[in-house]
Each structure stands twice: as structure tokens, then as C-alpha cells.
Structure 1
Amino acid sequence: MTSRNTALIVFFVFYFGVLNLTNVRSEQSPDSAKMMTSLVKPGIFRHVMCRNELYPRSNIARYPVPDEFVFWSVPFADYSPPSYTAPHIGGQIWADPPLPSESFNPKWNHNNGQVNRQSFHGNYEIVGGCFPLNPMGRTGIRGRGLLGRWGPNHAADPIVTRWKRDEKDQKIQHPKTGKNILQMVAIQRSDNKLWAIPGGMVDPGENVSVTLKREFTEEALNFTDKSNMVEKFFQNGVHVYSGYVDDFRNTDNAWMETSALNFHDEDGTEVGRLELMAGDDATNVRWTDLDGQQLKLHANHADIVRDVVIKRNAHW
């Protein structure tokens, strides 16, 4: 059997695995089948970091979830995960109250203009009368963990890029592929020390476009820039990805989703020349070469960034 045939078999096994999960939800959400198949995009679907052995910033061990038991459509009679919500979440203005609650009755799968409880992947199931169910599958832990919202927690990720240039301001090509090398502004997260897109959470009632600019200036420039140049630059984003993020904080009842847009400085005369400075939530910040053989990023950020590289016909 050729490697090409093997790859096709693996793809279709995954493809129909996703469709099987979708069919389980079809009675509740007729549109979910179409939405979920958007995950059948090479490299984007990940559900690995959210099954790490120990939940971050705790001594709570996740219940082991083998690959073959990730999807809810697969029976897992012995599945008995612990429940955990970080103690510091309680009472925070940006967080939901505990569930179940007589006074807290959110409109699941809706956006009320303040808190967006819609998922990019269609309607998610509500179990036990009040608990939203992670549409991607089991994570080995219930509750909210470190996340503020039950259900989807929406973030925005600005992928700010420029071409790598030499001292003569000429684009640098990679010696193996002959393609121009693309660079991205990356921050080193303070929580897990991994490099990542400088994004953040969408505030209640906030437009995603506002979040993108705010998070970049706070995380990578360490100030909120009101100049015309920065304002104009962040008006020209190219949509890259909207959907689930394989975040180490995800649980069975709370998970991360993001909207990622690419903001490209073609000639390097805009943000490409601004001095980078790490914000409060970042340990470091830098222009990072986008190279598929060496790039290691938080969650599935590398897969999202890869789409930008393809769109720009750059080296990977």
C-alpha cells in the first residue's frame, strides 16, 4: 500500500468520525452537520492538549481518554471524570456563576449582545438540564476549570505578519524552498511558557475587530495605541480561521473558540517597524520566522498560522 493511499484512509476515517459525532447532534441541530464538517481541514482539528494528564494550575488529574473514545458518539461506560472549577473563578465579574443555579439561566446557543454563547460549530448539547457539552468530545474533566464561561469562551487572535528582510531591505528567501520567509509577531505566554499568537478574550458586548487591535497593542506593544497608522492597519484583516481551539484549559463543559485574522505589513513600514514590548500577560515578544519544521506554538496556533503561510505563498 502506498503512503498516499494510507494517508487517504486515515483522512476518511477521521472524516466519518466527525460526521458520526455530527449525526448524534442532528436531532437538536439540523445545521450542525454542515458546521462540523468545517473541521475536516487538514491540520486544524486537534483534541490533544486538552487531554493532558494534570489539569493546569491544579493537582487534579484528568480521567484518561484514549483517542478512540474522544467522540461522544462512542460509548465509554467507564468514563468518570472529576469535576473542577478553579477557586479564584468564584465571584469574578467576568465569570459565570456555578451550575446548577436557580437564578442563572443563560440562553444556550444564543448571543444576547453581551455574552456570546453560540459556537462556530453549530448547536451544542445541554446535558443534565444545564451543562453544555464540549462539541469536540471528552477531555477527562468536568466543570469550568480555569475558564470563565460555561460553554464556548470566545477569543480573538490577530496574526500580524511581515516579510523577513536583509540589511538592504530585500526579502529573504529560504535556501531549500526558494520562497520568501514570512515572520509573525509571537508572544511567550506566562502560564505555559509556549509561544503563541498575541490574542485574548472577547469582552462582553465587544466587537471582535476591537478585541483584535486591543489585544495586539496590549500584549505585543504594551500600550493602547490610538494613532491613525495602527487604527488603519487593523482595518484590513484577512479571515483565516473561526472555531475550536485545542486549549489546555478546556473541559467537558467549557472550551475555547477563536476568530483569527491576518494583518499583513507588505513593505514593513507600518507595525513592522514598531518596537515590540511584552505586555502583562506575556513573558516575551518577538518577530518569529514561520517555518513548519521548527515552529512550536501554543494549542493549534501553528495549524492556524500555516493557513496564512499558504495564502501568502511563503516558505513553510
Structure 2
Amino acid sequence: MSEVTVPDGLRCWSVSWPEYTPTDITPPELRPSALAHHAPGWAEAAPTPADVHDWHQRQATALVPFELDDRGWPLHPLGRTGRTGRNLRKWGENAAADPIVVAGTGEQRWVLLITRSDIGVEAIPGGMVDPGETAPAALVRELREETGVDLADHRPTILGRDLVADWRQSDHAWVVSTSALYHLPAQVTAIADDDAADATWWPFGSLDQLDTAVTASGRTLYAAHRPLLERALGHLNRQ
């Protein structure tokens, strides 16, 4: 599936681009024909944004503000993505939680990452916030499910609530992550489970050090999580 490249000058929704024909990334199980018979338990049943009837509420509770187009469809806050359709739980904003677990200090810092089973890259052990769940609860649950590490008794530092360049995002569905820092005195045992193929402590004195270690192992750091890791490093270096 070839993806449409969006020039910087045409990314903004206010800039006219009549020829824009984004690639539909909707998987078979979320296409209207499939949803008419069965909706996966992890996804809302609305075939298109026109079938969603609580847009005003979703806008009011969004972590990152977004607008609706003339059809009443949600628009990605950062503009055109080159993709249309939906490959996420719901249309519009999808809330995620990313716990950044760091052990040690200075040049002896380590960060806990998982190997994602879906795209095979090294990433922060996180995931989507369940319906009715708070972001703090999701941080604890996702970490425990993917690494076996239970930090329910720890109070993390919330680093931010940010749009992330998730590989499943489109013009009308995207991910906003609450990232939080857990700083431990030493490494704890981590065992991969759930959506994680592996759980590994990596050197985290700097992002370059992390990059070098991940690359030397023949693995790849998830690009969408780099800004979150950089923010965590910035916070640690100011302490």
C-alpha cells in the first residue's frame, strides 16, 4: 500500500488541495461491510465519523483540541497525514498511556523498553486507555501487562500529553499519549508478556547512547517515542 506524501506547505487543513487523495488504511475488520455484521470488541462500531453522535463531548474532553470539517468529521490537529480511514479503537482522539521507567542516575541510567510484537521495534511499554479508565490507571496496567513490573505504589511524574506519530494514525483518527516518568534506584526484573515480544533494560545516559545500544543489537528504536524519551531525559538532567 503506497502512502501519499504530504508536503509541509499543504499539511494545514486551511490550505486548499483539491487533488488530495489519501490512502485508506482501514483494515478489513473495520470496513463498513464488516462492521455491518460484527464489530471487534476493541473498536467502536461506527463505520464512519458520520455515525458518531457525541462529537461535542469528545471535543470537550480531548487532551489536544481538534476541529470538525464541513461533514462533521474530526480533523487531525496537526493537519493532513496522507492517510484516511481508521485503524484505531475509535474515530478522533484515542488516549494512550506511556510509562517511562528509568533506573539509576547519570551515566549509569537505564530505561525499560519492550519489543513491540506488532511492528518489531523497541518502544516504551504502553498502550491505549480502556473505556472508563483513567490515564494513571492505564500507566500501571499497561506496564504490568507488558513487563510484569508493578509500580502501583509509585507516584510518577507526568511529563506531558502529546500527539504521537503512531503508525495507525490517519486524517480522522489519531493518538494522544500521557507520558509519565517512574524513576527507580535500581533495575527490577522485567518479563515480556501481552503485546511485548521482549522486555529489556537499555543504557540511557543520553539518547545517542540508547540509539547506539539498540542499533548494535540489530534492533530499531520506535521513532514515535523518541520525543517522549527526549523529554524524560531533559527532566532527569534538570534534577
Task: Please give the range of the TM-score, normalised by the shorter of the 2 chains.
Answer: 0.7 to 0.9
Q: Tell me which residue corresponds to 2:217.
A: none
Count, aligned residues: 220
Q: Tell me which residue corresponds to 1:253.
A: 172
1:214-258 deviation digits (Å, cap 9, x = unpaired): 10011012x8x5xxxx3212xx11011202001111100001110
Aligned with 2:57 (options 91, 110, 124): 110
1:98-144 deviation digits (Å, cap 9, x = unpaired): 0265xx43322525xxxx9743222x222242321111111112111
1:71 aligns with 2:8: no
**What secondary structure does 2:152 align onto?**
helix
Q: Tell me which residue corresponds to 2:226.
A: 302
Contact 2:156 2:180 in 1 (8 A): yes
Unaligned runs of 5+ in 1: 1-59, 164-170, 172-178
Aligned with 2:192 (options 278, 281, 285): 278
Contact 2:114 2:196 in 1 (8 A): yes
Match of 2:114, as an amino acid? I
> CA 1:109–1:255 in structure 2 vs 1: closer, same or farther (change >3 Å)?
farther
Contact 1:152 1:254 in 2 (8 A): yes
Moved over 6 A (4+): none
Contact 2:64 2:176 in 1 (8 A): no
Partners of 2:223 and 2:71 lie apart in 1 by: 30
Partners of 1:109 and 1:120 lie apart in 2 by: 14
Q: Tell me which residue corresponds to 1:213.
A: 140
Q: Tell me which residue corresponds to 2:163.
A: 244
Match of 2:191, as an amino acid? M
**What secondary structure does 1:249 align onto?**
coil
Partners of 1:289 and 1:74 lie apart in 2 by: 44
Partners of 1:83 and 1:243 lie apart in 2 by: 24
TM-score normalized by structure 1?
Answer: 0.64
Partners of 1:100 and 1:247 lie apart in 2 by: 20
Unaligned runs of 5+ in 2: 212-219
Q: CA deviation at 1:151?
A: 0.3
Q: Tell me which residue corresponds to 1:119.
A: 62
Partners of 1:156 and 1:83 lie apart in 2 by: 26
**What secondary structure does 1:260 align onto?**
strand
1:258-292 deviation digits (Å, cap 9, x = unpaired): 00010111x22xxx33x211112111111111232
Aligned with 1:288 (options 202, 222, 234): 202
Contact 2:93 2:173 in 1 (8 A): yes
**What secondary structure does 2:22 align onto?**
coil
1:232 aligns with 2:153: yes
Aligned with 1:81 (options 1, 8, 22): 22
Contact 1:149 1:254 in 2 (8 A): yes
1:191 aligns with 2:118: yes
1:64-120 deviation digits (Å, cap 9, x = unpaired): 21233222233323212243421123411331220265xx43322525xxxx97432
Partners of 2:178 and 2:196 lie apart in 1 by: 20
Contact 1:117 1:152 in 2 (8 A): no
Contact 2:49 2:74 in 1 (8 A): no
Q: CA RMSD in A?
A: 2.2
**What secondary structure does 1:85 align onto?**
coil
> CA 1:62–1:307 in structure 2 vs 1: closer, same or farther (change >3 Å)?
same
